[in-house]
Structure 1
Amino acid sequence: MTEAGGTGGREVIPLFPLETPLFPGVVLPLHVFEPRYRRLVADLTALPDGAQRRFGVVAIRQGWEVEHVAPAEALYDVGCTAALRMVAPQRDGGYRVAAVGADRFRLLDVLVPTPGAGDDEAGEPPYLRALVEWLAEEEAAEEAAGDVDGLAGAGTTAGVVPDDVASDVARASLGLLADNVRDLFARYVADVAVRQSGAPDGLPDEVLDALSPDDLPDDDAAGEVAATAALLREVSDDARGLSYLVASSALLTTEDRQALLAESATRRRLALESRLLRRELTLLRALGAVPVPLRQFATPMTAN
């Protein structure tokens, strides 16, 4: 088996289906109480020091139950590993777990346990496992994507753009795209906060200033917006981290989030988020309501 993060490498890993995708760098707290997943946590914690204690998180398609249909039909095909960071055994035999999103993968085959699996602790595990292929990020390749064509003929010879010029322009345009998404997300979070708190006047035109607690009449909403502002500052110079923060925190459908997780290029992920945030802002202002509490925005992230 190859190590995680390798391009095209394959490996068998345990699976933990959830209702929503996990993204790299996002903290995942779990209360593990089902016997099969207790066994999963026990198996991981029993690994020797230095081993990778991780499992794959895959989202369940809307309307499906994994137990009642073939797992290959019930699960999306792109997921993210969760690396264990904290395991706290509970009196009832369960666990409180904190994990962090790590590497993206594509499901190639789902290995379903046979009936009675897990009765023998040394035998076949009772949880799903999968053969996965690791998905590489396209950070280097995407720098030139969509930027070189616009430079051809502009002060160049025979339409050939020097590599250093193309790279500089690509990085600058990625920075502008990230700034646009950051501003849209700030406006979006502040808009939700104002509507949650019942303020009738909407938002000021300023985007980042809208994250100031002084603009919000409700203390709880202000505190949650301040937490989101802190996360935005944490990824202020990290376009990839910003893209995953927005993907995991915005009130998007599972399908939208899954599309963002499946996207390997930060540039294209941010471009999709720009369109999605503009759509969501339009819907918020047209409907005047939000579907869930703002606390879902404050998704913990880590640099790992």
Structure 2
Amino acid sequence: MALPQLLHSPSSSSLTPKHCLNPHSLNPSPSSLSLNPSILSRRRRRNPNFLRCSASSGGSPKSDDVLELPLFPLPLVLFPGAILPLQIFEFRYRMMMHTLLQTDLRFGVIYADSTTGTADVGCVGEVVKHERLVDDRFFLICKGQERFRVTNLVRTKPYLVAEVAWLEDRPSGDGAEDLDALSSEVESYMKDVIRLSNRLNGKPEKEVQELRRNLFPTPFSFFVGSTFEGAPREQQALLELEDTAMRLKREKETLKNTLNYLTAASAVKDVFPTA
């Protein structure tokens, strides 16, 4: 679900998700997948140039763990818990996929564009479904897992491999921050934005279903950020924040600005119905 007409930083790009690098793309809507979130656990390196992941190894990743991870730069931002469809067409990334299928199905998705370059913070994408075609292209459905920060570039060819450290949200500086109340405010703004957008687009007005779906504040903040399609730089800024309260407050402000814009547009439409 993407929120319409998001008002964000003026520097935000108009790039939209679901595009691969250079720019071979796959644009289907992600299928409805019932996936249980998996957690990256602390792992040993079996190959010095690759992150070897094992869902059964037990334990949560530590922020001071440094491991090697193959990277896939894309003009989009992947959030933990989000679903991302991709087409792997370029030869070097087909090579990467062949290696991943033999070792592990996780790689780093990291935002890159011609203006800002390649970001330092990204999100691990786990391949949950894949199809290999006769011409050796791959269709993938990936799910966002842990965030990471690049600490050192190991190699650039045939594809990027970097040392990464896990990134986790830290407790807010204000211990009295009510994250549940803040999450409820953000959800309320989201519902208002969706409702007003549907009205402007001539869609039937109906009650917006629960958006939070019992998510805790941190994963909910990632879900909200994933809906800000068309604003990848704003999404990147949200991904890099290490404070759930700060992320929710920034999302609340963005949604509030968007709601104000849609309210004004709705008023104009009421006065000039054919405008």
Q: Using structure 1 for the length normalisation, give the TM-score.
A: 0.63
Aligned to 2:165: 133
Q: How many residues align?
A: 210
Within 5 A, what are the aligned runs for 1:1-304? 3=43, 5-47=61-103, 52-61=104-113, 63-64=114-115, 74-114=117-157, 126-138=158-170, 141-142=171-172, 145-148=173-176, 170=177, 173-197=178-202, 215=205, 229=209, 232-233=211-212, 235-251=213-229, 253-286=231-264
Larger CA Rg, structure 1 vs 2: 1
Q: CA deviation at 1:82?
A: 0.4
Which amino acid counterpart does residue 128 of structure 1 have in structure 2?
L
Q: CA deviation at 1:88?
A: 1.0
Q: CA deviation at 1:251?
A: 4.0
Greater helix content: 1
Greater strand content: 2
Q: Structure 1 residues 131 and 247, CA, compared in 2 at 3 Å: closer, same or farther?
A: same
**Distance of 1:178 and 1:147 partners within structure 2:** 16
Q: Residues 247 and 260 of structure 1 are in contact (CA less than 8 Å); yes or no, is this contact kept in structure 2?
A: yes
**Distance of 1:37 and 1:174 partners within structure 2:** 40
**Distance of 1:285 and 1:251 partners within structure 2:** 20
> Which one has more relative contact order, counting CA pairs under 8 Å at least 6 apart?
2
Q: Residues 8 and 136 of structure 1 are in contact (CA less than 8 Å); yes or no, is this contact kept in structure 2?
A: no
Q: Secondary structure of 2:221's match?
A: helix
Which amino acid counterpart does residue 132 of structure 1 have in structure 2?
V
Q: Any idea what the Cα deviations from partners look like across 1:127-161, whole Å, max 9, x if unmatched?
A: 111121211232xx23xx4245xxxxxxxxxxxxx
**Distance of 1:284 and 1:31 partners within structure 2:** 34
Structure 2 unmatched runs, 5+: 1-41, 44-59, 267-275
**Percentage identity across aligned positions?**
28
Structure 1 unmatched runs, 5+: 65-72, 115-125, 149-169, 200-213, 217-224, 289-304
**Distance of 2:61 and 2:201 partners within structure 1:** 40
Q: Structure 1 residues 252 and 187, CA, compared in 2 at 3 Å: closer, same or farther?
A: farther
Runs of 4+ in 1 over 4 A off after TM superposition: none
Q: Any idea what the Cα deviations from partners look like across 1:225-249, whole Å, max 9, x if unmatched?
A: 96xx36x15x334222221111001
Q: Any idea what the Cα deviations from partners look like across 1:185-240, whole Å, max 9, x if unmatched?
A: 1111222222233x7xxxxxxxxxxxxxx516xxxxxxxx96xx36x15x334222
